[in-house]
Structure 1
């Protein structure tokens, strides 16, 4: 009996030990899991705190950058307004001053006309300032809309040439245009915007290039991955004063100028390049500028435009004939680099009843024959030895023009004064 009790005590003892051991292991396991959870919690909490701190730092950095940009914009606008106050005041004073003078002039029509012409010039300058400010406002508000129609690149360039060439001639600059690498002249585009880009870029080139300098406009067409489209590169290059690398970095920032009007003596709002950039962006194009101080600047605009079919020629256009004879009332293109020879030749030809247009070298002659409509010139009187492009090269390029009517225009290439005698006496040599 006692033996049985001892056995039961032993069994109970072992059972209690197992239970206690199991509870201890359960407790230790639970404690371990709790510790792991606590460690994970604090690790995640620390990570979140680090991320929150980093995010706060990034936000603070962004806020600091935004504040800096706002301050820079504020300073730029302040400087702009200071410069603009001078730019606006100068032509406004001219308008008021010449108006006052015109009012007090009596019986002197010539002086009144002179004052009125100066008032008009100053008024146009004021209008251009207002237009630029309004344009930049539309661009910044995203209201720039493109009106794309079928346009001829030659027409756009010719109209630009009419605006820019007179400015270049006033500074005795050589202005050359080259569009020979354009295969498809008809494209869908916003003609007004394209012309504004060209006029603005070329206007800058004229303004910032010294008297007697060189300016060129070159348009190149390259293949495009998009079917029915063409890549068009517009190159505007000059050998003017150039720009510093520091200014190049902020050239598209509104209200920025390399030097204000008071220092440079050159009129401008500092909005032109910003406007150009806005137009190019609206056309989904790009613009790149390379420049070096005292050496010049080149601006390259890349545009991808849809190619259009050339419009059919009317029967009237197809029936136009181009007789080789020169007779009174017809327009002649006189190509001569020597100014004295040009003056003498023009006078002789005009006395013979001809309308005379002038080109200073062969390159300009080719561009004029190309840009003006067929039949605009009856013939071309071309000197042989000229800078940039001689008479023979110019004649060959005219013969290679895509328009058959322009390509067949009569060309007289020889020594100018000798040829004039032949023309006036009825002898000429057509190429």
Structure 2
């Protein structure tokens, strides 16, 4: 009982520190969002200034979204709801996408960033691409963050033999010559809410959840993670994953292209079901810019009425919010799917919701939807999904 009480007190203290840190980390980009918004309003007709302010608002908004995603991810891991979605992917393509994200960060600090995957013989594997990429991005992002200006960072992937037939042991080495970490912190680095230094002192932002998330993903994949670090000398993190080897596909997922031009979408009509007026305005502008004709509905009941009223083929696709007054998106979808006119009942419906967990996506599919996109809307992802369904 004494041990349990001590552990509870430690957890309480850690969470208090986490909330203090996160409050600071949320307020910092939020201050930028509100501050630059006011400056953009005051800029009047100065287009160059306005564009600069909007660019900074977008950067701060993306940072805020990253914080929210980390908190959601750790909640999912702690509840044991991490599920892997494995398919065939190229290690080279995953590394290439990671490089795009990390290299600009490293260049901004004038750091040397090198990649070595020459010791990988079997480049195509079965894996959860998003999880693997998130492991790489998190590890390398930390390396950039905790390495001084002008320092060096490296990513090296080595393939080693595996006892299991048609499997390969893949070692991911992320190394830097940054500030390193104390032995005391290294022992508790995977615990939620832990951080080496307080951001209000060091200026380094973060919720202290990144390494916990990485450990959760590695555990879910049946892998291991080891850390070698020395203060003021640097850190090397080694992730070992045993993945099933795949044949190189004729055309990889990354190479598939879908026509998403205004000419392709021109004349196609979308029913946008969204109760929030600002979200409707944003989504309408995005869709019209892409070439769509847009009709709107404030809730699921109005959406069902419109779909029923207009003739077959009037709407090409429906974008459906989930949480709405009067009638939610799930109920509206089930009602549409049960219509007597089977042609109208089969209209493609895509969930666009702030519910971003895997189980939320599954619930959308079970309700009869054709896909699920998380808010805030990522334009390229939205148009890719719409293009795939309409093509």
TM-score, normalising length: structure 2 = 0.64
Query: Following the alignment from structure 2 to structure 1, what is the Cα–Cα distance between the partners of residues 36 and 203?
Result: 21
CA deviation string 1:293-347 (max 9, x = no partner): 0000000000000000112479xx9xxxxxxxxxxxxxxxxxxxxxxxxxxxxxx
* 2:281 alignment counterpart: none
* 1:95 alignment counterpart: 33
* 1:66 alignment counterpart: 4
1:216 aligned onto 2:136: no
1:77 aligned onto 2:12: no
1:267 aligned onto 2:208: no
Q: Which has the higher helix share?
A: 1
* 1:158 alignment counterpart: 96
Query: SS of the counterpart of 1:127?
Result: helix
1:244 aligned onto 2:182: yes
Residue 73 of structure 1 and its aligned partner are, at CA, apart by 0.7
Query: Following the alignment from structure 1 to structure 2, what is the Cα–Cα distance between the partners of residues 67 and 313?
Result: 56
Q: Describe how 1:9-408 pairs up with structure 2 within 5 A.
A: 63-312=1-250
Query: SS of the counterpart of 2:57?
Result: helix
* 2:353 alignment counterpart: none
Residue 105 of structure 1 and its aligned partner are, at CA, apart by 2.0
The structure with the larger Rg is 1
Residue 258 of structure 1 and its aligned partner are, at CA, apart by 0.3
CA deviation string 1:225-272 (max 9, x = no partner): 111111000000000000000000110010100001111111111100
Measured at CA, do residues 313 and 92 of structure 1 come closer, stay the same or move farther in structure 2, by a change above 3 Å? closer
Query: SS of the counterpart of 2:55?
Result: helix
Residue 104 of structure 1 and its aligned partner are, at CA, apart by 2.0
Displacement over 6 Å in runs of 4+: none
Query: SS of the counterpart of 2:191?
Result: coil
* 2:322 alignment counterpart: none
Query: Following the alignment from structure 1 to structure 2, what is the Cα–Cα distance between the partners of residues 311 and 227?
Result: 20
* 2:279 alignment counterpart: none
CA RMSD of aligned residues (A): 1.3
Query: Following the alignment from structure 1 to structure 2, what is the Cα–Cα distance between the partners of residues 95 and 268?
Result: 18
Measured at CA, do residues 70 and 154 of structure 1 come closer, stay the same or move farther in structure 2, by a change above 3 Å? same
Query: Following the alignment from structure 1 to structure 2, what is the Cα–Cα distance between the partners of residues 253 and 264?
Result: 20
Q: Count how many residue pairs are aligned between Structure 1 and Structure 2.
A: 253
Query: Following the alignment from structure 2 to structure 1, what is the Cα–Cα distance between the partners of residues 188 and 177?
Result: 21
CA deviation string 1:76-100 (max 9, x = no partner): 0001101111111111111111111
Runs (5+) with no aligned partner, structure 2: 256-391
Query: SS of the counterpart of 1:116?
Result: helix
Query: Following the alignment from structure 2 to structure 1, what is the Cα–Cα distance between the partners of residues 47 and 201?
Result: 36
Query: SS of the counterpart of 1:94?
Result: helix
CA deviation string 1:42-65 (max 9, x = no partner): xxxxxxxxxxxxxxxxxxxxx221
Query: Following the alignment from structure 2 to structure 1, what is the Cα–Cα distance between the partners of residues 221 and 158?
Result: 17
TM-score, normalising length: structure 1 = 0.58
Runs (5+) with no aligned partner, structure 1: 1-62, 318-431
Query: Following the alignment from structure 1 to structure 2, what is the Cα–Cα distance between the partners of residues 248 and 186?
Result: 33
